[in-house]
Amino acid sequence: MSLDYRALGLKAGLEIHQQLDTKEKLFCGCPTLLRDVKESNLEFFRYLRPTQSEMGVVDKAALEEVKLTKRFIYKAYDTTCLVENDEEPPRELNQEALQYALVIARMLNMHIVDELYTMRKIVIDGSNTSGFQRTDLVATKGFLESSGGRVGIDVLCLEEEAAQKIEDKVDSVIYSLDRLGIPLVEIGTAPDIVSPAHAREVAEKLGMILRSTGRVKRGIGTIRQDINISIAEGARVEIKGVQELDLIEAIVEQEAARQFVLLEIKKELIKRRASVSDKIVDVTHVFANTSSKVILKALKGGSVLAINLPGFAGLVGKEIQPGRRLGTEFSDRAKKSGVGGIFHTDELPNYGITEEEVRALRNAMGAQDGDCVIMVADAKERAKGALEAVIIRAREALECIPEETRRALPDGNSAYMRPLPGAARMYPETDVPPVEITEERIRNIKLPELIEERKARYMRQFKLNEELAGQIARSQNMPLFETIMAKVPGANPTMVVRTLETTLYELEKESVPVNNIKEEHLVQLFKLQSEGRIPNEAIGSILKTSANKPELSVDKAAQSLGIGVVETSDLETVIDKVIESKMDFIKEKGLNSVGPLMGVVMKDLRGKVSGQEISRLLKEKISKKLDTVK
């Protein structure tokens, strides 16, 4: 569907959650290290129930979540402590994390607060052992420039990461505590985004700014985006958990389409004078002789219940997003009661349900041609809860687009998660003292070079091509590259980038313990290489040796491979001998003899001395010889 987003009044805002690459967690000294759940050495469980916030209101989202009482099981490790287990109070706020958050705030032209107060945000899905997430407001009212104009940055908060969900079962959820407490920044833009492409551009720019600090974690799951979207007559919907930048455009596009079609459906329903009956009818008898496998399975101890939606025929089956219908929205709500889904007459006969059964069903419900009957087959109580939820959603279809928190789906669609949380969800964390941020501290913040600027500088300063310059400017190896180039002025920049970005990666794939290769190894390696003592083609095998025997100097590692063992004096002897024997040829060709003679020398020394070094010496000696014979 191609829509005019300006005419629709599309407004979108992004909320980005980015993990920071600190040594310790936000409120304890544990490492920010992800673990294999198999290494867990302790397990405990909790139940969480909704509490009243200081406003005295039980949160709507919180209530919905605990309709299903679940047991939360937590896996702990030798790298987790009693703070993550919620058995000890949090420590003081991690200053390293705060410093990175301040840098990011400044890069986004934000106003930094004078004092940080740690607050508790209620979380009842069990992803925090304490039942809340700690959060600190760091800065407000910033902006970034975009092709669609200035986009406001409303808030930047420093927060604890939630525990990672490992398994979701009917009666319990298993979480892993390794991720809990890793510092993250939450950045919320103003709803200044005006089109799907604009959303993508802003997300890309924010990501680039965050990575430019060199202080953020990389890889899947370390950055997550939520998107707030509304159209003029629609409603604010928050779509959570977008991990891929590529999806942002599609999500905004498809949500705008969903709201647009839902508004069309509402208009049509009003025109038809449609209504929603809240009478739930047991229609189990209709299916007494059914051969539908789905119904038969549900009928083992269960019932078939139904409701009638006068005037809804044809609209429940109407597509609102690619492959998703109004009926899918009903079904999402129904599933919250634990049922597998719903049936509606817009899609029947189907699933082994016959035309005759559909007719009997309509009769039992007193449904007219323009009506749509919805039914659920499951344990009676569950089916009743499911249909009650459908009734609420069907009423909303007549009145408005519901404000919801939705879950991003991999195809750019989204599914219902819970109502949009209210604002009354915070109260002060009394265990953590406030942190003052002085004028001086803000003044002393050094802003990092943006990745875009760095790339341009690398092309200028090191004559790297655009691809390599961009690659190393974005890379986690960027600081290492800078160090090597500073310590080894003669190093070949292209060779250094290829080694860091390709050779090391390839070795890692061969299970070489590349973590053993330290900065010092690389500095030595490129020193030798720039002096012509190591041929380029030997770099991989030398690094492999260094990784396996990190205690060896690179020189020794090379020697153990028979590389660079030829002393310069030996090399000179070989070259002198070749020159002596080819003197006639040299006299005839002059300096043009260097190329052919290279081959002769290389035959003896290939892989032991670099071609560059042989060529240099050969040229030098031949020039001298030619001078003397003139």
Minimum Å gap between C-beta 81 and Zn ion is: 3
| Cβ-contact 198, 171 below 8 angstroms | no
Shortest distance, position 38 Cβ to Zn ion, whole Å: 20
For Zn ion, give the closer residue by CB, 81 or 571.
81
Closer residue to Zn ion (CB): 83 or 507: 83
Cα distance between residue 534 and residue 546, in whole Å: 14
CB of 172 to Zn ion, least distance (A): 24
> In which element (H, E) is residue 410 found?
none
**How far lies 25's CA from each of 54, 197, 486, in Å?**
28, 36, 32
Q: Which is nearer to Zn ion, 127 or 545 (CB)?
A: 127
For residues 83 and 464, which CB has a smaller minimum distance to Zn ion in the complex?
Answer: 83
Output the six-digit token pair for 293.
């496998």
Q: How far is the CB of 28 from Zn ion (least distance, A)?
A: 3
Do residues 322 and 310 make contact, with C-beta atoms less than 8 angstroms apart?
A: no
Return d(Cα 181, Cα 4) in angstroms, integer: 43
Q: Which is nearer to Zn ion, 81 or 250 (CB)?
A: 81
Give 59 or 84: the residue with its C-beta nearer to Zn ion. Answer: 84
Shortest Cβ 120–Zn ion spacing (Å)? 18
Give the shortest CB-74-to-Zn ion separation in angstroms.
13
Rounded distance between C-alpha atoms, residue 135 and residue 369, angstroms = 54
Cβ-based neighbour number of residue 369 at 10 Å: 6
**Cβ(290)–Cβ(353) under 8 Å?**
yes
Q: What is the spatial distance between Cα 408 and Cα 255, in angstroms, rounded to a whole number?
A: 10
DSSP 88: S
201 vs 396: CA distance, rounded Å: 34
Name which of 81 and 597 has its Cβ closer to Zn ion. 81
Q: Contact, 335 vs 254, CB < 8 A?
A: no
**In the complex, least distance from residue 91 CB atom to Zn ion, rounded to whole angstroms:** 8
Decide whether 84 or 136 has the Cβ nearer to Zn ion.
84
Upstream peptide bond of 349 is cis (omega within 30 degrees of 0):
yes
Q: How far is the CB of 93 from Zn ion (least distance, A)?
A: 14
From 356, 324, 355, select the one nearest 341 (Cα to Cα). 324
Q: How far is the CB of 129 from Zn ion (least distance, A)?
A: 11
CA angle centred on 77, ends 73 and 80, rounded to 5°: 95
- Closest contact distance (angstroms) between CB of 52 and Zn ion is 29
Residues belonging to the chain:
630
The CB-of-160 to Zn ion minimum distance in angstroms stands at: 11
Shortest distance, position 83 Cβ to Zn ion, whole Å: 4
Residue 540's CB is within 10 A of a number of other CB atoms, namely 17
Residue type, 374: I
User: Of the two residues 30 and 252, which places its CB atom closer to Zn ion in the complex?
Assistant: 30
Nearer to Zn ion, 31 or 338 (CB): 31
CB of 127 to Zn ion, least distance (A): 16
Of 28 and 437, nearer to Zn ion (C-beta) is: 28
CB of 181 to Zn ion, least distance (A): 6
CA atoms in the 13 A half-sphere facing the CB of 522: 28
* Residues within the interface to Zn ion (CB under 5 A): 28, 30, 81, 83-84
Q: Coil, strand, or helix at residue 357?
A: helix
How many C-beta atoms lie closer than 10 Å to residue 350's C-beta? 11
C-alpha 3/C-alpha 314 separation (Å) is 23
Amino acid at 137: L
Maximum alpha-carbon separation in the chain: 116
CB 597 within 8 A of CB 621: no
Q: How far apart are the first and last CA of the chain?
A: 83
- Write the CB contacts of 587 (distance below 8 Å, at least 6 apart in sequence): 626, 629
**Minimum gap (Å) between residue 92 Cβ and Zn ion:** 13
Q: Smallest Cα–Cα separation from 597: which of 628, 565, 623, 630?
A: 623
The β-bridge partners of 415 are 407
Helical pair 451-461 and 196-212, crossing angle rounded to 10 deg: 60
Instruction: Tell me the chain's radius of gyration from C-alpha atoms.
Output: 33
The closest alpha carbon to 211, from 5, 544, 478, 414, belongs to 478
Nearest distance from C-beta of residue 144 to Zn ion, angstroms = 34
- What is d(CA 340, CA 600) in angstroms, rounded to the nearest whole number? 77
DSSP 222: S
Residue closer to Zn ion, measured from CB, 85 or 492: 85
Residue 109 to residue 205: CA distance in whole angstroms: 14
Cβ pair 521, 543 in contact under 8 A:
yes
